[in-house]
Chains A and B, each alone.
Chain A
Amino acid sequence: MHNTIRSPRRNRSHRNQGFFAPSFGNIINEILNSPLNDVVKETPKRHTRPAANIIKTENVYTLSIALPGVSKKDVQINIDKNRLTIKSSVEENSDIKYKLREFNYANFERVFKLSDDADIDNISAKFEKGILNISIPTIKEAGPTEIKIK
């Protein structure tokens, strides 16, 4: 009944151990098995800061923020000089009874500093399948310049 379950993937993944401790799967099992606990407080990892990927292509940086379950209308994107702020501030429904809560992106703020070559007048954003993609074009490829010795 209280066997250890380990996902095969997790066993393979050596680089992951520090983040999701190997016992993590067990905690979930215990939660589902015990009717009386208040597990929310004891959840070892709770993600409230959405993860971001940044991809560079030739003329555009794409900042992709993982916002599963978040509605477009709840997200604000602001640019102030070279600061790009993405945030959400939503009142939570306190009636929901969580047996386990590993994520909650109702309230967050992430701020990024854009480099000088970011074309801040032409930034665009699109929300798709729980991912907010923000495209930041670069003004031009600065590249290394060779200085000739006279």
Chain B
Amino acid sequence: MNTNNGIIGIEPISRFMDEFFNRSISDIVGTDLMHDSPSVNIIEKENSYELEVAAPGLEKTDFNIFIEKDHLTISAKKEENKEESQDVDFKRREYNFYSFTRKFRLPDSVDRTSLEAEYKKGILKVVVLKTPEAKEKGPRTIEIK
């Protein structure tokens, strides 16, 4: 990888970039600052949990999602085009979501047989349903006597 610092065409200047500003590109490229495991939001709805996996730039066929016992596993593997990747000259690399695995332990309230997923706008949305028992209980407010 070319880490020639002399010909950087784009450099951040705002306060949003403070953490990078005094570093050379070689400090940034391929270091621990890179996002290579996608962030996840989990939303609780009345009858389900929705996991939003922030994994932009992939195809839906790149993902593998399954429930095994108490674990929900979400992974992706995308083959990098070899010819292409050799020539690609990264001046900055803060993300790479080509290959990752994230695992979640499911609570008892999740129906192990339910699993739906959709990939849209770079977000993989994974929906698991609550069990009928969990739905009945639901969250509730406790009155103070």
A110 CA / B56 CA spacing, docked (Å): 18
Cβ-based interface call for B17 (8 A): yes
Contacts of B54 in A (CB 8 A): 47, 66, 68-69, 102-103, 130
A9 CA / B98 CA spacing, docked (Å): 13
When the two chains form their complex, are residues B39 and A130 in contact, meaning their CB atoms are under 8 A apart?
Answer: no
When the two chains form their complex, are residues B11 and A113 in contact, meaning their CB atoms are under 8 A apart?
Answer: yes
When the two chains form their complex, are residues A131 and B122 in contact, meaning their CB atoms are under 8 A apart?
Answer: yes
Contacts of B11 in A (CB 8 A): 112-113, 115
* B3: min CB distance to chain A, Å: 12
Count of chain B residues with Cβ under 8 Å from any Cβ of A? 60
When the two chains form their complex, are residues A28 and B8 in contact, meaning their CB atoms are under 8 A apart?
Answer: no
Q: Which residue of chain B has the shortest Cβ distance to A127 in the bound complex?
A: B121
Identify which of B13, B56, B101, B106 contacts A32 (C-beta below 8 A): B106
Q: Mark B99-115, 1 if CB is under 8 A from A, else 0.
A: 11111111101000000
Contacts of B139 in A (CB 8 A): 35
Q: What number of A-B contacts does a CB cutoff of 8 Å give? A: 188
A33 CA / B107 CA spacing, docked (Å): 5
* B119: min CB distance to chain A, Å: 8
Within 8 A of B (CB), among A118-138: 118, 128-131, 136, 138
A19-B32, A32-B42 known; 17 new pairs, CB 8 Å cut-off, are: A5-B103, A16-B36, A19-B34, A28-B105, A49-B16, A52-B94, A55-B91, A61-B9, A68-B38, A69-B54, A96-B43, A103-B54, A112-B10, A112-B13, A113-B11, A129-B122, A136-B10
Q: Which residues of A come within 8 Å of B, CB atoms?
A: 3, 5, 7-10, 13, 15-20, 25, 28-29, 31-33, 35, 45-47, 49, 51-57, 61, 63-64, 66-71, 83-84, 96-104, 108-115, 117-118, 128-131, 136, 138
